[in-house]
Structure 1
């Protein structure tokens, strides 16, 4: 399968597959955000997810995919550090603010800086029409965040802190998207990067989650937490794997922008599953986000 994927790099078929993978990653990323924001403490959920990431990724890393080239080990180390910082900020943001407030800000900050990073590192250039699409998409995302900031009545006391954390998390999203795209392009087999990355990254947060669980006055039952962690790990593997393969097949900037349609999926999940309020104005802003992504894709 890896040979087939590599053969599609830079082709029209590879471009179309990258688009599908980026949109699939958007849907799954919204699902993952809802899983982490659910009824369990987000730190515990993240730890449970990471335990399962190690369990699921280790057999592939050790026995299935080719061994990483020597130059990949420093890249793995850098990726793990970046993702640990990102997860800390993300968990803090979800702890302080409502999902439909935090998530749009996180996802809105990321694509603009990811496009800039793709230009600086990979020499990717957007057309004027694509930049218009980015502007439309960002207008919808940040419009959604401003609307939530003005009208949402829950978590008002912690909302400014939550928004600040969300902006920092979005910057880290752009950083890891560009960095990981460079890393996955640096190895002959893209699945080597994915398997080893998930195994290494999954070793970090379980220790934090275990420490936090022991200090809780009322400790939640581990069985439902483990179940949620398994579901989250499968979603994370598919979501992150999809967007990384998309960046290997085609432009990093386009994949990053298309992934931010996850805000639309997130709002629907927040409404249907988490029972958060979604009115006609926010629906209009979500349509604006989707329109921006379409403009970016059609303007390429």
Structure 2
């Protein structure tokens, strides 16, 4: 039995739900690291380098290894490309204008509730009271964390215009997270072979952010460290494949709403990275809210 047959055999089972849980938490940890890689240095150039690396690696797999998409899957892949291109742009702009500990929680906070509502409509998912409470706790905790970080930023006298732009782009990122989670789940469920969808998803990344990043690179007046950019791109691509690949497989095996909410526990890892990498302070209220987010994740699976 190959990996595709194994995936099909556990879909809709308790084993599949458990695997989806593990994949969602793996994706959460990986996505926090992924966000930190994009934020370090120039976010747009980093994102372009990442997409070039994983798009190039996925090209031969998409073209010569996995079965080609069916006629029904092509339009979904087109929508996925557009939605992710918009998401990448909004995320990059939020990172350019705001601190990681501010924009990352705002971007992640609104996603779970919006995704849960979309899953009810698109996939006819029915959530228990515990699951709804867990999702609300995760979203509420993340958004409250963003509010705490926002107050700290205002107290430090940051540029208000830049702050408003950062918040606006972060909120747009949150909406697009809910959209891409729903569309991705629909696409990977529609594909007979889930790795066909994954291969073409990563391959299509070559034709988005790298184009804009290339235009910016040509206009640079100060030379950059190409070796460092390539290193970030390669490492970010590896982490990105883990993050996006794991969550997409999780949405095929488990409930879209719950795995999407569990993935947003990435804010816990993201806060730690903000402290250790970007030297951003963490306070007692932030720690309490992180505890609330963790409790929400437990509630979903209780």
Which residue of structure 2 lines up, in the alignment, with residue 270 of structure 1? 274
Structure 2: 5+ residue stretches without partners: none
Deviates more, 1:252-261 or 1:219-228: 219-228
Assess if the C-alpha contact under 8 Å between 1:98 and 1:154 holds in 2. no
SS in 1 for 2:207: coil
Q: CA deviation at 1:256?
A: 0.4
Which residue of structure 1 lines up, in the alignment, with residue 246 of structure 2? 242
Q: Which whole-Å CA distance do the structure 1 matches of 2:271 and 2:45 have between them?
A: 23
Instruction: State yes or no: 1:37 paired with 2:42.
Output: no
Q: 1:60-75 maps to which residues of 2 (within 5 A)?
A: 60-75=61-76
Q: CA deviation at 1:221?
A: 2.1
Deviates more, 1:133-142 or 1:75-84: 133-142
Aligned residue among 16, 19, 41 for 2:18: 16
Assess if the C-alpha contact under 8 Å between 1:31 and 1:266 holds in 2. yes
Which residue of structure 2 lines up, in the alignment, with residue 202 of structure 1? 206
Q: CA deviation at 1:219?
A: 2.6
Structure 1: 5+ residue stretches without partners: none
Q: Figure out how many residues of one structure are paired with residues of the other and give that number.
A: 297
Assess if the C-alpha contact under 8 Å between 1:47 and 1:207 holds in 2. yes
Instruction: State yes or no: 1:110 paired with 2:111.
Output: yes
Which residue of structure 2 lines up, in the alignment, with residue 122 of structure 1? 123
Q: Which whole-Å CA distance do the structure 2 matches of 1:4 and 1:162 have between them?
A: 43
Q: Which whole-Å CA distance do the structure 2 matches of 1:249 and 1:139 have between them?
A: 26
What's the CA shift string for 1:61-110, capped at 9, x where partnerless? Answer: 12221121122111111110111111111111000000000000110011
Q: What TM-score comes out, normalization by structure 2 length?
A: 0.96
Assess if the C-alpha contact under 8 Å between 2:135 and 2:258 holds in 1. no
Q: What TM-score comes out, normalization by structure 1 length?
A: 0.97
Q: CA deviation at 1:134?
A: 1.6
SS in 2 for 1:278: coil
Aligned residue among 232, 239, 251 for 2:236: 232
Q: CA deviation at 1:151?
A: 1.5
Which residue of structure 1 lines up, in the alignment, with residue 91 of structure 2? 90
